[in-house]
Chain A
């Protein structure tokens, strides 16, 4: 158990819908990351937050957005869903945001299936 909690674990929704994935980081971790993993694209970095502020942005679509709240939990919002958005979405957390020796801990992921 990494200490990173993601909900829901599984989600099935229809195209065009909107969903919200939730992440609670490890206790004491200030930085939160979101990754998407699909069969053909591997692990893709989406976005990173540190103490409520956006730190880095990766291959995140405009239909997707995220935020980190004052209690440090984070939400990833996916809207206008398409079949290709079906994937495993991972949240990860770490103590700091830039230290190069920083260890990042991953949750178990949220399986999203768009039908």
Chain B
């Protein structure tokens, strides 16, 4: 299984930036880093993914360390709707499925 390490939980205030860290020290050169999130009572939702360089989309930014052994998901302005469990996953071409860890439960305070 592809192993990642994330904090169990984090707290943020509404409208402040949130940096969610993830360690993936055993990642290989062809593995993509994916972030998904799961809101309460919903299925996981794709957030962002990247390989080497930093990535931005309408939901978040992904900052990947130069050695690729860690990454950070950045929510620029947290909203109450961003309260969810955030999963950091990596996988390569040998398998297409995602192996989820425990994730980080993000709480957002008004």
Q: Does A31 contact B (CB under 8 A)?
A: yes
Q: Which chain A residues border B38 with CB–CB below 8 Å?
A: 43
Q: How many positions in chain B have a CB within 8 Å of any CB in the partner chain?
A: 26
Are A100 and B45 neighbours in the complex by a CB distance under 8 Å?
no
Are B98 and A101 neighbours in the complex by a CB distance under 8 Å?
no
Are A58 and B45 neighbours in the complex by a CB distance under 8 Å?
no
Are A42 and B95 neighbours in the complex by a CB distance under 8 Å?
no
Whole-angstrom CA separation of A58 from B1 in the bound complex: 10
Q: How many positions in chain A have a CB within 8 Å of any CB in the partner chain?
A: 31
Total cross-chain contacts (CB, 8 A): 68
| Contacting residues of chain A (68-115) with chain B, CB-CB under 8 angstroms | 90, 92, 94, 96-109
Q: Does B94 contact A (CB under 8 A)?
A: yes
Whole-angstrom CA separation of A108 from B46 in the bound complex: 13
Given contacts A2-B45, A100-B31, A109-B43, contact A45 B99 (CB under 8 A): yes
| Contacting residues of chain B (36-94) with chain A, CB-CB under 8 angstroms | 38, 42-46, 49, 51, 87, 91-94
Are A101 and B96 neighbours in the complex by a CB distance under 8 Å?
no
Q: Which chain A residues border B109 with CB–CB below 8 Å?
A: none
Q: When the two chains form the complex, which single residue of B32, B43, B101, B103 contacts A108, counting CB atoms closer than 8 Å?
A: B43
Q: Which chain A residues border B99 with CB–CB below 8 Å?
A: 45, 58
Q: Which chain B residues border A108 with CB–CB below 8 Å?
A: 42-43
Q: Does A56 contact B (CB under 8 A)?
A: yes
Whole-angstrom CA separation of A97 from B51 in the bound complex: 18
- List 9 A-B pairs, minimum CB-CB distance, nearest first: A106-B43, A43-B100, A97-B96, A100-B32, A98-B96, A100-B92, A100-B93, A106-B44, A101-B32
- Interface residues of chain B, those whose CB is within 8 Å of chain A, are 30-32, 34, 38, 42-46, 49, 51, 87, 91-103
